[in-house]
Amino acid sequence: MTYVQSNYGAANPSASQGVTLTTDVAVGDLIVVSWRTGNAITGLSDNLGNSYTAQNDDGLANTFGTHYSVVTTGGSCTVTVTQSSGRIGVAVHHYSGNDAAPADNDTIVNAGTATSSASPSFTTSVADGVVVSPWGGSTTPTPDADYGGATLQGNGTGRLYTAHRLFTSTLTGDTADWTHANTGYTVKAVSFKSAAGGATTRGNPFNAGNAFNGGRTFAGILR
C-alpha cells in the first residue's frame, strides 16, 4: 500500500465541513475519513458519488468516527461531513495499492483522563497495510514513534488529531499510543489491508498538504 496524501478542515460553528484532496483519486484507491463533531453527523459524502462505509461510531452519539471508501469514480475529490450545527473537524487520508475489500480491524474507543492514552489492542490479519488512529481531546497530543509524525496540521478550532502507521509485518496485540497534557481523551485505531501480494511503500512526501516522515503521517484538526 502506498500513502498518497492527507488533508483536513475544521470550523466552529458550522453545519458542514468539506476537505479537498490536492491530488486526484483513482478508481480502486482507498479514502479514510476520520471526523469529530459537536452533534450527530447527518451525512458523509464526496462530490464524485463514491460510497462510504462506517467503521463504528463507538456509541458516542455519532460524534467521533471513521468511514472509508474504495473509489469507484476518480477525479478531484472533496469529502463533506454534515451535522445540524456546532464544532466540526474532518481528516482525510488517501492511499493506493489497497485491497478491494480493505477493512481489517476496527477497535472500540478508549476514553479517560490522563497524560497518556492508547487505543484498544488489535491484531492485523495481514502483513502489509496501514493503521489510522484518531484521537480527541482538549490539548495537542504526540503519537508514539511507530505512529509518529512529521508536521502537525491544525488550525485551533477543534480537538481531533489523526496519525497513521504503514506496516510491513503482522501487528499482534498492537496499540496506537499518545502522550499529552492531563486531559480527557478518546482514541481508537482502524487497520486496512494492502492488495493481495502487494507491498507497503512510503509514497511521495512532496505532495502538497502532506505531513510525511518515515512512512507515517500526523494530521490534526480541532473540535
Cis status, amide bond into 13, omega within 30 of 0: yes
160: part of which helix (H) or strand (E)? Answer: strand 160-167
Please determine, for residue 165, whether its predicted confidence score (pLDDT) is greater than 80.
yes
Per-residue model confidence as pLDDT tens digits over 88-116: 889 999 999 999 999 998 888 899 999 99
Give the confidence band of 201 by pLDDT, cuts at 50, 70, 90. Answer: low
Asked whether residue 206 is assigned to any structural domain, the reply reads no
Q: According to the model, what pLDDT value does residue 157 have?
A: 65
Asked whether residue 129 is assigned to any structural domain, the reply reads yes
Please indicate whether residue 59 or residue 159 has the higher confidence score (pLDDT).
159
Asked whether residue 115 is assigned to any structural domain, the reply reads yes
Asked whether residue 80 is assigned to any structural domain, the reply reads yes
Asked whether residue 13 is assigned to any structural domain, the reply reads yes
What is the reported pTM?
0.88
Asked whether residue 138 is assigned to any structural domain, the reply reads yes
65: Cβ–Cβ under 8 A, 6 or more apart, which residues?
Answer: 34, 35, 41, 54, 55, 56, 57, 58
Per-residue model confidence as pLDDT tens digits over 168-195: 999 999 999 999 999 889 899 999 999 9
What one-letter code names the amino acid at 137? G
Please determine, for residue 210, whether its predicted confidence score (pLDDT) is greater than 60.
no
What is the domain count for the chain?
1
Q: Cell numbers 479514510 label which residue?
A: 32
Q: Which domain, by its residues, includes 96?
A: 2-201+211-221
